Amino acid sequence: MKHAKRLLSLMLGLSLTALGVGRWATAAPAASTYPGTGGPRPLELNLQPPATQIAHEIYDLHTWMMIICLVIFVAVFGVMFYSIFKHRKSVGHKPATFHESTTVEIAWTVVPFLIVIGMALPATRTVVGMKDTSNADLTIKATGMQWKWGYDYLKGEGEGISFLSNLATPRSQVGAPGMPPTEKRGENYLIEVDNELVVPVHKKVRMVLTANDVIHAWSVPAFGVKQDAIPGFVRDTWFKADHIGTFRGNCAELCGKEHAFMPIVVKVVSAEDYKVWVDGKLKEMAALADDPNKTWTIDELKVKGEKVYTANCAMCHQATGKGVPGTYAPLDGSAVVNGPKAEQIHVLLNGQKSGKYQVEMPSWKQLSDTDIAAVITYTRNNWSNKAEENIVQPAEVVAARK
Ligand SMILES: [Cu+2]
């Protein structure tokens, strides 16, 4: 009986201490002291410094739960080791023989109940807050695809902007099976992209998520955001960045071979900078919205095609066009690239899976007609290739899509 009471007061005392310590320890580090480039730091043990209200709450909850767990750990092991030591047989301790102690039973019901409430109450508030995507200033759709993200600004300032966001780390830093990297790995290795998602600071951004092929997940740890992007479904989440900066994340759902190669980079800028960016982007898009009926010269297509190739194809087929034996088909000397052009247009629009390679050629139908025509023309006239049908016009791609 006496022991039970002592145990109860010990546990209550520790829980109360935890409450006090919890309040003190839950102040997250100021984000301005964060020296990194917006991604994880080497040997980082804690969560990334939060950059939104929700991320702050998650950070605090995490700290709070850690403390509760620690207190329970110390209390349980403390009592256990104390009892073992104090009541050992060699000092002549006689075991108590009581039965059915009401006090103990109440204690081990009430105390865990209080602990659960102390965890569930604050957690529920945050989870409900995470799901509240109402009253957004900006709505952006993110589409996961093997293996990149597509962004469409659906509503709010910047409406109509749409672009693809590809990994920017060159393959020469990555290497491939049997091919060690030939270049030193950069600071943002595998967490850098060619087109960053740009959003204004202090504005509620609703992210609408879906996918084209398999399940991906859009995750930015500093925002406390992680949401699956599921083909055929639309899910949403939101964030409101509380300071300017660059924030990095990754696809967080295993989505195939290049899962680690589709990072997410969000650039949070001031309202003025955002306006400038939107203006520039809209102009750039107007300039890019090529008339698919325009007839291009072969040189124009080759110049454009090389850019498309570097951004989308070189990661597998390599800048040399030689591919990687057994994994990626060579385009230099390929029968498809040197054969009838209709066949190559078909491969680009629909992908190819001959079974001769470990992976398959994905479909590129999300590229523009001009991009597809350009990249085909480029591959037909580059390296040692000298295709007879050496030029493909955007109109031919338009026709093949039907
Ligand atoms: Cu993915």
374: confidence class by pLDDT, cuts 50, 70, 90: very high
How far does the centroid of ligand 1 lie from the alpha carbon of residue 253, in Å? 6
Higher pLDDT: 290 or 71? It is 71
Amino acid 37: pLDDT: 65
Mean per-residue pLDDT, 94-119: 90
How far does the centroid of ligand 1 lie from the alpha carbon of residue 105, in Å? 50
How far does the centroid of ligand 1 lie from the alpha carbon of residue 288, in Å? 27
Q: How many residues does the chain have?
A: 402
How far does the centroid of ligand 1 lie from the alpha carbon of residue 261, in Å? 8
Amino acid 271: pLDDT: 95
Mean per-residue pLDDT, 126-148: 95
134: confidence class by pLDDT, cuts 50, 70, 90: very high
The mean-pLDDT minimum among 125-129, 135-139, 180-184, 205-209 falls in: 180-184
The mean-pLDDT minimum among 136-150, 170-184, 329-343 falls in: 170-184
99: confidence class by pLDDT, cuts 50, 70, 90: confident
CB atoms near residue 9 (< 10 Å): 11
How far does the centroid of ligand 1 lie from the alpha carbon of residue 248, in Å? 15
How far does the centroid of ligand 1 lie from the alpha carbon of residue 144, in Å? 6
203: confidence class by pLDDT, cuts 50, 70, 90: very high
Question: DSSP states of 237-258 as a string?
Answer: EEE-BSS-EEEEEEE-S--STT
13: confidence class by pLDDT, cuts 50, 70, 90: very low
pTM: 0.65
Average pLDDT of the chain, as a whole number: 87
Mean per-residue pLDDT, 210-235: 95
Neighbouring residues of 21: CB distance < 8 A, sequence distance ≥ 6: 67
How far does the centroid of ligand 1 lie from the alpha carbon of residue 130, in Å? 22
Structure tokens at 294: 């325009």
Amino acid 117: pLDDT: 93
How far does the centroid of ligand 1 lie from the alpha carbon of residue 271, in Å? 30
Parallel, antiparallel, or unpaired: how do β-strands 216-220 and 205-211 relate? unpaired
Amino acid 44: pLDDT: 81
Q: Pick from 23, 26, 38, 42: which is nearest to 241 by CA? A: 38
Strands (E), 215-358: 216-220, 225-229, 235-239, 245-251, 264-269
Helices (H), 43-137: 53-86, 102-131
Above 80 in pLDDT, residue 311? yes
Higher pLDDT: 67 or 295? It is 67
Above 90 in pLDDT, residue 69? yes
Contact between residue 230 and residue 210 where contact means Cβ atoms under 8 Å apart: yes
The region, left, alpha or beta by phi > 0 then psi within -120 to 50, assigned to residue 156 is left
Q: What is the pLDDT of residues 15-39, one digit of tens each?
A: 444 444 444 444 444 343 334 467 7
Structure tokens at 311: 């951004």
Neighbouring residues of 321: CB distance < 8 A, sequence distance ≥ 6: 330, 331, 332, 379, 382, 383, 385
Q: What is the pLDDT of residues 158-197, one digit of tens each?
A: 999 999 999 999 888 988 888 888 988 888 889 999 999 9
CB atoms near residue 243 (< 10 Å): 14
302: confidence class by pLDDT, cuts 50, 70, 90: very high
Question: DSSP states of 265-294 as a string?
Answer: EEEEE-HHHHHHHHHHHHHHHHHH---TTP
320: confidence class by pLDDT, cuts 50, 70, 90: very high
Higher pLDDT: 98 or 147? It is 147
How far does the centroid of ligand 1 lie from the alpha carbon of residue 219, in Å? 10
CA distance 366 to 373: 13
How far does the centroid of ligand 1 lie from the alpha carbon of residue 255, in Å? 5
Three-class secondary structure of residue 393 per DSSP: coil
